[in-house]
Chain A
Amino acid sequence: MEKPSYNTDIVRSFVTWSLVWGLVAVLVGVIVSLQMVNPDLNFGPYLTFGRLRPIHTNAGIYGWGVGTIFATFLFMVQRLCKQPLWSDKLAKFQLWFFNATIIASAVTLLLGYTTSKEYHEMEWPIDVMVVILWVAFAINIIMTIIKRKDEQMYISLWYMMAALIGVAILYLVNAAAVPASLFKSYSAYAGTNDANVHWWFGHNAVAMALTAPPLAMFYYFLPKSTGVPIYSHRLSIIAFWSLIFMYLWTGAHHLLWTPVPDWIQTLAMAFSVMLIAPSWGSVINGYLSMNGQWHQMKENYLVKFLILGITFYGLQTLQGPMQSIRSFSAFIHYTDWVPAHIHMGTMGWVSMISFASIYFLAPRIYGREIYSIPLANLHFWLALIGQLIWSISLWVAGVLQAGMWNAMNDDGSLTYTFMETMVEMYPYWWARVIGGAIYFAGILIFVYNLYMTVRKKETIPSTTAEGRA
């Protein structure tokens, strides 16, 4: 049977740009962590923590995260459907519009234009750009899926479709606003409704942008890397549907102990705990897929990234529900425990899977074997160690912070002033700088390895290389 002609140029371009935005995200992350320990590094008005922090988060989520989603989805959908892309022109438009959107976001955020909604800071004209971008992407993927030859869809396609539909709904609902000028708008919702809608968006952006797509990648790139199928496709389907049924109810766990009605908080808490089941359905499926293949953890660098990635997913999906319980949330909310949680998710789970995916793609999109497997292994260890230093130091900081905030004297007065609790944070914040710098060094090695791969003279005749180490 004649093989379809797959578009790898577009995948290559998205990989390049996601790397660019990934470098920006982590570099700015290191800079803002330095600003926390040395406030003199705030250079106003444009390079202050308040303006750089949303650049860090948005470049990370939308530049690196979504850029990698674009690259991997466009690669996977063609192969899983055994069809070329529905429209190469639309994919090309998507590439340049993606970069225009990210640049417009970065510039307006630096200039101080913000809705002040966390993870949705961009003003309404950029919301319009995001919607156009996502619609172009969704049409191309869905039309390619519709043209597929096999009726039975592999689990990665289910997660891809969930991400396409989920992000569209979340973004449109949360973006509803009344424009007052070109760069100023007011939310269509008021008071607690606004907060509730916003965190419904915020938490489910994690679900639909930072959980469903990495799961699509994991289910695709793990078996492709090991050469053996996943343990159970049926388990993956049940885990998928239970995740979809449960996730959308959990957003209000960000609003525990607020004026949001108690029943909404309790609902979010219950669904968050229930969410352990589908999350661990995928984790267990991943581990059982390694039956008889655990030796590949030593021999195959791709497997290291993928298995550590799914392990961090497992840890995150235990920690997250724990944090969503009222009594525990009362203790750790607003402390440094929370950024430790999200960074184990982003640096550990999402990025580990993304690194593995791009390493897998490299020989197939560049037509050359990876330049250096030892460098890829070094990248793995730097990413792992940097991430662990980052998260563990801030877990400890968070517990210490919470303990000091809650400490009371016999007469009921607070034992520590807020400033005293801040001073105690310095060693942990320095540890965060070091962890972030190590992680950034790993990314520099990653980019260097890919750059040298592109520059290699020897090409491989077919794209069948595996990540043997």
Chain B
Amino acid sequence: MDWASILYLGVTFGLFAVFALIVVRTYNKKSKDRNESAKYRMLDDD
């Protein structure tokens, strides 16, 4: 495997890891209320 392939693979796994972290952080039970709060606040009277 050449360096270019290793780099492609690294970027692919890196991006997947970032996405997985976003999913875990978003669906973390401890921060549920915080992550859902914006949908209520946007309904405030303008």
Contacts and interface: CB of A to CB of B under 8 A. Distances in A.
Contacts, number: 59
Contact of B39 (A230, A238, A364): A230
A228 B42 CA distance: 10
B9 interface: no
Contacts of A364: 46
B27 interface: yes
A156 B43 CA distance: 13
Contact count band on A: 20 to 34
Contacts of B46: 6, 79, 364, 463
A245 to B, nearest CB: 5
A238 B23 contact: yes
A376 B41 CA distance: 29
B42 A234 contact: no
Contacts of B41: 150, 152, 154
B3 interface: no
A234 B38 contact: no
Interface residues of B, number: 19
Contact of A233 (B22, B23, B35): B35
A223 B38 CA distance: 12
Interface string A60-100: 00000000000000000001100000000000000000000
B2 interface: no
Contacts of B23: 238, 241
Interface in B1-46: 15, 19, 22-23, 26-27, 32, 34-43, 45-46
Contacts of B27: 234, 238
Interface of B: 15, 19, 22-23, 26-27, 32, 34-43, 45-46
A229 interface: yes
A220 B19 CA distance: 25
A234 to B, nearest CB: 5
Contact of A237 (B15, B35, B37, B45): B35
> Which 4 pairs of residues, A with B, have the shortest CB-CB distance?
A229-B39, A233-B39, A154-B38, A154-B42
A227 interface: yes
Given A79-B46, A463-B46, A238 B22 contact: yes
A241 B42 contact: no
B19 A233 contact: no
A234 B25 CA distance: 10
B39 A154 contact: yes
Contacts of B19: 241-242, 245
Nearest to A364: B46
A220 B42 contact: yes
B43 A227 contact: yes
Nearest to A4: B46
A155 interface: yes
